[in-house]
Every structure is written in C-alpha cells, then in structure tokens.
Structure 1
Amino acid sequence: MQKIKRLLLVEDDRTLGGLYMYLLQAEGYTVEWVMNCLLAKVKLSQTRYDLILLDVMLPDLSGIEFLSEPLLPISKTLVLTNLDHERAHQQIRAYGIDKILIKSDQTPETFLASVKNCLTT
C-alpha cells in the first residue's frame, strides 16, 4: 500500500492556490495551503511534508529569502514563479532547488507531472 503524499503549498494568489489545491487533492495528495512564509514556518515546525510547493513572490518574504532560512529537514521543494530570468533561477538553484516551474507556462497536466516527478526522484 502506497503512502499518501503530504504537500505544503505556499501561494498567496487565491485563484492559483485554489486551482492547485483542487488538482492536487483530485490526484489523492494531502495538501495544506498557506499564503505566506510565516504560516509556512509554523506548518513546517509541526509537520513533515514530502514536498513543498513554494511561490517566489509572497507578501511577507520572498520564496528565495525563505529558502535561505534554516528550516526543519525538507525532503524536496518545487518553486513556482513567473520570474523568467536567469538571475532569479540561479539564486533559487543555489539552495539546491533543481525544479522551477514558470506558472504561466503550466497546464494542469504539466503541473501535476512535475509534482509527481519531484516526489518520485
């Protein structure tokens, strides 16, 4: 029996967050959604997640700044952004993040495929 994967979604856009929640839950994932880094830190102090889906442009702290802070052990992080320039991507990769999704380029299918790939690699 395969363990249900637990995901933390950190996304401040209500429309996108709602869409991501719908898609992920429909695939059978357990998802908790927060809209800022402070709440993400609280969740991370309480729960172990298989994957964090992290927006870059957040109201209290950028996703890049969030990555630089010491956190509980995180197995994997998938960064979601519309920043499509190499400097931002280099900053993100400096924290060991290999998978960066440009939100505007994603279809529901490609988004879910990327999540599944992150969880299985």
Structure 2
Amino acid sequence: MLRYSHKCIKLAFCFGFALVSNSSAQAQAISVPSDSANYELLDLSNRADGTVEITTKRQGKSGESYSKRLVDCKNWTAKYLGDGDSLDKMKASKPDAEMWPLTKGSISSHIAAYACKHSK
C-alpha cells in the first residue's frame, strides 16, 4: 500500500491535482517527537548505490516547508538534496556537498529512521 500511495502522490503533484481522501491516497505521517510540527511523507525511493531518498512536507506554526534528504542507512549519515517553502523552491535549491552523521533525537534522525525502516 505504501508504494501505491507514493505513486498517487507523485501523480497528483505532476498534474496539480489535490489528493482525494481515501485509504490508498492518504499521505503517510512521520513521527518526529523533537518537533511540534507535523511531517508527511511525499516520496521515498531507493537508489542503486543503496542509499534512500526521502521527500517530506513539514507543517508547523511558521507555515509549510519541504525537504528532500539522501540517507545512508548503513553508515547512519544524511545530506539535504534540497529544501524550501515550496516544492519548486526545494527542487531549485542546491544540495549539501557532503554527507553528515545523524545526531540521535534530531529531526533528520527521525526522518532517516522512517526512511530506513520503510525502504525496500
């Protein structure tokens, strides 16, 4: 079901549709106890090199923001591939140059844990 949901989300963004609320198209919530904001999974994909890409939406008091991270589950490192106040700004932003170690309890560590647990 998770893989199907991602395809629905990708198609919705590609064609500009609003997602309808049904069990196969609902966004997946990601628990981030260190932040009072709500996080949603927008995309999760495996790369040929064994790393995982995860795109999330954060909805908090300051508004919406989007982040795409690259996670190395084996070495417990990550880097931002993009971030911004919209998907377009996220896609246009520059990625971090290097991977960095994940810190226990950080927002990125919770996002990475979700990515590693749910990747195939």
TM-score interval, smaller chain: under 0.3
User: Which has the bigger relative contact order, CA under 8 A and spacing at least 6?
Assistant: 1
Larger helix proportion of the pair: 1
Normalised by the length of structure 2, the TM-score is: 0.24
Which one has a bigger Cα radius of gyration? 2
